[in-house]
Amino acid sequence: MFGFGRTTTMVSPQDALPGRETPMAGLAPRHLVLDAPLDGPFPPGAQTLYLAMGCFWGAERIFWRVPGVISTAVGYTGGYTPNPTYEETCTGRTGHTEAVRVVYDPARVSAAELLKEFWENHDPTTANRQGNDVGTQYRSAIYWTTEEQRDAAFATRDAFQAELDRHGYGAISTELGPFAASDGDRGAGPFYLAEDYHQQYLQKNPGGYCNHGPNGLTCQIGLLRQDEVPAQTSVEPPA
């Protein structure tokens, strides 16, 4: 939340911090609210979507409250530095964005329904910023792991842009891309879990900082036919 570096210029791979080989230690094994594994294994058929919308504390709470979500975790993705710390990420020199890993049951909640929560609870028009939180680590992003999620990302983006246009607001700057590398696309992954005190932070600190809530606009879902889904024109994470 502190925006140490306040840089809005993406770091290059050669200038990124070196990081470390050791993954984050000392993490609680189970989700404090959902009583589910924090880092798996998850039930067969569960799907995973990675969402970034500013400081991950308030963002995570939005998704653990959604029926059908199995587990959530906060961490760092979309960058270069292996196993970064929070302090390193906040300098803007790791390339990561603060993100929430959402593991869900697709029989109970759809990707479009999760993305409705995403669009309606932050400002996707402010590149590298949410309120007073400034820096590339606060950029808005959607990273998919399935074709359904990909299609939902583009369809809901266009639906929400139409809503923004109707109210005289600006263009969406949200980064859209695949989580996994494929066909020459480096992908946004890996996802590095954040320190334990960040996990379910607002459950542990009910009066803690939260920069998320309804933005007053509605993202229409379920209205587009499959042949109306826009062509893939993703804004990919930096190569």
Are residues 47 and 196 in contact, defined by beta-carbon separation less than 8 angstroms? no
**Can you say whether residue 187 is alpha, beta or left, with left for phi > 0 and alpha for psi between -120 and 50 degrees?**
left
Q: Which band of pLDDT confidence, cut at 50, 70 and 90, is reported for residue 228?
A: very low
Assign domain 13-228 to its CATH architecture: 2-Layer Sandwich (3.30)
Q: How many of the other CB atoms lie within 10 Å of CB of 123?
A: 21
- Which pLDDT score is estimated for 58? 98
Q: Provide the residue ranges of all domains of the chain, joining segments of one domain with +.
A: 13-228
pLDDT in tens, 155-197: 999 999 999 999 999 999 999 999 999 877 899 999 999 999 9
Q: Which residues are catalytic?
A: 55
pLDDT of residue 234 exceeding 90, the answer is no
Q: Which band of pLDDT confidence, cut at 50, 70 and 90, is reported for residue 238?
A: very low
- Which pLDDT score is estimated for 98? 98
Q: How many of the other CB atoms lie within 10 Å of CB of 186?
A: 16
What's the DSSP call for residue 83? S
- Which pLDDT score is estimated for 185? 82
pLDDT in tens, 3-57: 445 689 999 999 999 999 999 999 999 999 999 999 999 999 999 999 999 999 9
- Which pLDDT score is estimated for 184? 77
pTM, two decimal places: 0.91
d(CA 94, CA 24) in angstroms, rounded, equals 15
pLDDT in tens, 99-146: 999 999 999 999 999 999 999 999 999 999 999 999 999 999 999 999
- Which pLDDT score is estimated for 224? 46
- Which pLDDT score is estimated for 222? 77
Main-chain dihedrals φ then ψ at residue 166, nearest 5 degrees: -60, -30
pLDDT of residue 237 exceeding 60, the answer is no
pLDDT of residue 239 exceeding 60, the answer is no
- Which pLDDT score is estimated for 223? 54
